[in-house]
């Protein structure tokens, strides 16, 4: 089990726990208007995006302001500080720049989810060493110097290597989360199966996993349909967290229903609470 927390709220990621929904809306990828605002250093869009995701039942709020040619370290710190004031949800600090992650972590006084590093030695080892004094929940994407392996067994070897290194370094294993890499099924017919096999194996070992859900449907028609079905399959396989758009009610409902059917929400307590909230707001 891995715990992350803000000042007033704690979230647990792990096999058997309700699936953690990580809101992905604060991310400029594929959003020209958001990109323009971030390039100008304009972060006034944050309250609207945060509020909408909280209302839609996001358990955590992802914060990613990464754009080439911007002062990402400073912008990420500003965004994390702003979101922390607005929301009581734990944060997912997301950047491809290690130095941005480090500075954002230094300025966030609680325990966030931090991603992402890879299974390349030069990537995850450096962050583990830097984070040792106050370990966040570190997301490790399961690819290494050879790139992204197509087969689950090769991704699992990366996870084993990272786990062994964490033990040697003294980095707590209960502060590691593995990204099993949902890749587009339009390019590789086995992408979904191999990702699910990887989730299932790690969950069987009691290790928390997550995926960026929308990757699976990239390039396909009916993307919401594919995302819903794959989300349910991932929940059954034991995924701990899903990075997704919580402002899609049918997608969130599918995750909540899958939790009930997988006995991760006994007696449908959370599902019924979610259902009632949607009836009232609708």
Q: Where are the domains positioned within the chain?
A: 2-281
- Is the bond preceding 116 in cis, omega lying within 30 degrees of 0? yes
Helix (H, G, I), strand (E, B) or coil at 251: helix
- 84, β-bridge pairs: none
d(CA 86, CA 94): 18
Pick the CATH number of 2-281 from 3.40.50.720, 3.90.420.10, 3.20.20.20, 3.40.50.880: 3.20.20.20
Of 184, 177, 278, give the one whose Cα is nearest residue 227: 184
pLDDT of residue 282: 59
Helix (H, G, I), strand (E, B) or coil at 21: strand
Ranges of the chain whose pLDDT falls below 70:
281-282
d(CA 91, CA 71): 20
d(CA 23, CA 60): 6
pLDDT of residue 180: 98
Helical spans, DSSP H, in the chain: 32-39, 46-55, 72-86, 98-106, 121-131, 152-169, 191-204, 223-237, 249-261, 269-281
153: CB partners within 8 A, 6+ apart = none
Sign (positive or negative) of CA dihedral 164, 168, 173, 178: negative
d(CA 248, CA 254): 10
Tell me the pTM: 0.96
Contact 52, 79 (CB under 8 A): no
Contact 116, 143 (CB under 8 A): no
pLDDT of residue 177: 98
pLDDT of residue 281: 67
Contact 113, 139 (CB under 8 A): yes
Of 31, 29, 35, 25, give the one whose Cα is nearest residue 60: 25
d(CA 26, CA 246): 12
d(CA 73, CA 168): 30
Report the relative pairing of strands 10-13 and 2-5 from DSSP bridges. antiparallel
pLDDT of residue 21: 98
């Amino acid at each position: 089990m891995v715990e992350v927390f803000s000042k007033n709220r704690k979230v647990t990621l792990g096999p058997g726990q309700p699936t953690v929904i990580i809101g992905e809306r604060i991310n400029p990828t594929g959003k020209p208007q958001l990109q323009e605002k971030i390039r100008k250093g304009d972060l006034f869009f944050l309250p609207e995006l945060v509020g909408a995701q909280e209302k839609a039942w996001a358990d955590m709020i992802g914060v990613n302001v990464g754009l080439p040619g911007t002062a990402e370290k400073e912008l990420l710190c500003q965004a994390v500080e702003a979101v922390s004031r607005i929301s009581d949800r734990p944060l997912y600090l997301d950047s491809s720049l290690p130095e941005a992650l480090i500075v954002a972590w230094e300025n966030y006084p609680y325990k966030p989810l931090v991603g992402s590093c890879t299974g390349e030695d030069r990537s995850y080892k450096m962050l583990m060493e830097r984070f040792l004094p106050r370990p966040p929940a570190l997301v490790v994407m399961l690819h290494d110097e050879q790139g992204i392996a197509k087969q689950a067994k090769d991704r699992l070897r990366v996870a084993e290597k990272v786990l062994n290194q964490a033990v040697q370094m003294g980095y707590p294993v209960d502060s590691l989360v593995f990204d099993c890499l949902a890749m587009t099924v339009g390019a590789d017919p086995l992408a979904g199966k191999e990702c699910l096999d990887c989730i299932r194996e790690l969950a069987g070992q009691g290790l928390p996993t997550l995926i960026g859900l929308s990757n699976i449907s990239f390039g396909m028609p009916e993307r919401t349909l594919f995302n819903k079905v794959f989300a349910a399959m991932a929940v059954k396989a034991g995924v701990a967290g899903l990075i997704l758009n919580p402002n899609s009610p049918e997608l969130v409902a599918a995750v909540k229903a899958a939790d009930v059917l997988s006995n991760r929400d006994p007696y449908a307590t959370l599902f019924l609470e979610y259902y009632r909230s949607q009836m009232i707001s609708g």
